Amino acid sequence: MDEKRSVRISKTLSRVLRHDPASIGITLDEAGWVPVQTLLTALGRKGTRITRDELDHVVAVNNKKRFAYSEDGSAIRASQGHSVAVDLGLAAAVPPAVLYHGTTGAHLDAIFREGLRPMSRQDVHLSADTETAVRVGSRHGRPVVLTVDAAALHAAGHEFRISANGVWLTDAVPPGHLGRLAR
């Protein structure tokens, strides 16, 4: 499959599995899963024909590992990033001492005033390395990498979880636990 088609399928899956399953007439279960055949049939009815082989390819090669199959391969879900209510069933985890968040300079005043909030998503997304944070920030302009004192937040009782694709999730990060990475 060519890269352009792979990206187009990935974007469609992100929209449907994270934000708007109703747009193709499907319902996610409480953990965000939908049967693969239900997804493919619904997409086809809406004019987006995707084969199981193409779906397998997108799930396997997506550099952000945005999607996951159930153990038996019969269902699929987004790994994180939902704006629709789902419970991914992720256990609480002890984070590394420092995590990172990629953003742009345009958001810094609000972030340092209000902290990191999930906005339209269920959780704040953090990364364990600066390279990922730079990539995330680059999607919206010139990237700025923020540091998050995850150890202090965890010690203060904030819960952290880690998604299947390595994204650290928490409900919010107060401004006092943020810094700006010197680059």
Same domain, 73 and 18: yes
Same domain, 175 and 103: yes
Instruction: Tell me whether residue 88 is in a domain.
Output: no
pTM of the model: 0.80
Structural domain count, the chain? 2
State how far the Cα of 85 lies from the Cα of 72, in Å rounded to an integer. 24
Instruction: Tell me whether residue 87 is in a domain.
Output: no
**Among 27, 45, 78, residue at a domain's last position:** 78
Instruction: Tell me whether residue 84 is in a domain.
Output: no
Render pLDDT for 50-93 as a digit per residue (tens, 0 to 9).
999 999 999 999 777 899 999 999 999 999 889 999 999 999 99
> What's residue 140's pLDDT?
83
- The residue-averaged pLDDT of 86-105 equals 95
Same domain, 102 and 137: yes
Predicted confidence band of residue 183 (pLDDT cuts 50, 70, 90):
low
Instruction: Tell me whether residue 148 is in a domain.
Output: yes
CA angle, 47 as apex, 44 and 7 as ends, to 5°? 90
**Among 49, 78, 107, residue at a domain's last position:** 78
Instruction: Tell me whether residue 89 is in a domain.
Output: no
- The residue-averaged pLDDT of 18-43 equals 97
Amino acid at 30: E
Domain boundaries, position 21: 3-78
Phi and psi at 152, nearest 5°, equal -70, -40
Render pLDDT for 120-168 as a digit per residue (tens, 0 to 9).
888 999 999 999 999 999 988 899 999 999 999 999 999 999 998 899 9
> Nearest Cα to 179, choosing from 106, 86, 100, 104?
100
